[in-house]
Structure 1
Amino acid sequence: MTSQSNDNSTTRFWLAVTFLVILVQVVSQYLMGRLWICECGYVKLFEPGVNTPGNSQHLFDWYTPSHIIHGFLFYGLGWLIMRKKPIAAKLALAALIEAAWEILENSPLVIDRYRTATMAVGYSGDSILNSGMDMVAMIAGFFFAARVPIWLTVVIALAFEAVTAFVIRDNLTLNVVMLVWPIEVVKTWQAAL
């Protein structure tokens, strides 16, 4: 067997693992009782409201940049701990982390935590469609980070954080901080939106 066919076999294996991880994410959410699409019965390209019933229900929303940043971070993690592995193996790791988060994020435990500790008072979890698109956004961020200089990835991540903080008073950093260690003054500032 040639090196080229070994490389192709390895790539196909890791892409199959990635696909399987995404399938487990979708099936898990279905079994958890998540709705396929918004309860409203239609699909929008973008949901501009943050504390609305449509948030986290449609294709994209103001939290999509956070998932793109996940891709940046997971690519960096894969690069650090899997240097000699092919990019497809690093993608499988990234998909595994993202899927684990999507499943955990849509569990009653985390949904209740969001409602009590963050600005997401009426949060009811993601639709399966939105969760799948969060995975797509992460994958897009992953491949973007794999192709461009680190400085550009960092600049774009900071821009995403700044824009979402300005527009919706939330972003990946604030989301993590408020979920793990809520700060009352931040919660008050976010609620004033």
Structure 2
Amino acid sequence: MAALATLSLSRQSVSMGIVRREWLIVAGVALAAAAILLAMGRTPMCTCGTIKLWHGAVHSAENSQQISDWYSFSHIIHGFLFFALLGWLLPRLSLDLTLGIRLAIATLIESAWEIAENTPMVIDRYREATMAFGYSGDAVINSLSDIGMMIAGFLFAARFGWKIWVPLAIAFELFTLWMIRDNLTLNVVMLLWPIDAIRVWQGGA
């Protein structure tokens, strides 16, 4: 636990804030990801013609098409994990980077995943191995929201430390597991090592 404590910035250092230049870098990375997704042929918003703040039906055509959904919790956890990983890794590479630059790196990683996630290869993998049987990729508005959720998680972890974000991440995982039979952990497991029994259970059997 002592090692985890070193991953958290002091309240004083976080309160100093992120300078405008660093926010511009973060915004630029997110907008570049959106432009790439549009160039890949992703739809800007749900083809249903409406924009919703929340869509809770997992097995529906609007899943991953609206601003937020059950998988938004996973992207918040991404932010927690990226904060911890970069806090541990960068000092060992002798890179003493500001919080804002670390956030920009985390945004770059998240944006790269959003792009990869919407390639035909990964979409097909989701359909074959996970509970996302009819998954057709994300609308750009949903991808941008996912990036925003990650940013929120990163800043939350920086502000409050591991004693708060670790239990919160576990709570999110248990909550989404109970609500939709899926979470970040199962998503990773089913993408990398599909287990038929889990897939059947997630399908409602």
TM-score normalized by structure 2? 0.86
- Relative contact order, higher structure (CA 8 A, sep 6+): 2
What is the aligned counterpart of 2:141 among 120, 124, 129? 129
Gaps spanning 5+ residues in structure 2: where? 1-15
Q: Is it true that 1:175 corresponds to 2:203 in the alignment? A: no
Aligned residues: 185
Gaps spanning 5+ residues in structure 1: where? 1-7
Shift of 1:20: 2.1
Q: Is it true that 1:85 corresponds to 2:97 in the alignment? A: yes
Shift of 1:16: 3.0
State the Cα deviation string for residues 21-55 of structure 1 (Å, max 9, x = none).
Answer: 11221011000111111010001111010010010
Cα distance in 2, alignment partners of residues 123 and 112 from structure 1: 8
| Other structure's SS at 1:123 match | coil
Report the AA paired with residue 144 of structure 1: F
**Partner of 1:3 in structure 2?**
none
**Partner of 2:62 in structure 1?**
54
Whether the 8 Å contact between 1:11 and 1:89 is mirrored in structure 2 is no
Cα distance in 1, alignment partners of residues 63 and 153 from structure 2: 21
Cα distance in 2, alignment partners of residues 114 and 33 from structure 1: 19
Cα distance in 1, alignment partners of residues 29 and 51 from structure 2: 24
What is the aligned counterpart of 1:150 among 146, 158, 162? 162
Q: Which moved more, 1:24-33 or 1:75-84?
A: 75-84
TM-score normalized by structure 1? 0.92
Percent identical pairs in the alignment equals 49
State the Cα deviation string for residues 166-191 of structure 1 (Å, max 9, x = none).
Answer: 11000000001101110011001100
Report the AA paired with residue 47 of structure 1: H
* CA RMSD in angstroms, aligned pairs only: 1.5
Cα distance in 2, alignment partners of residues 13 and 45 from structure 1: 29
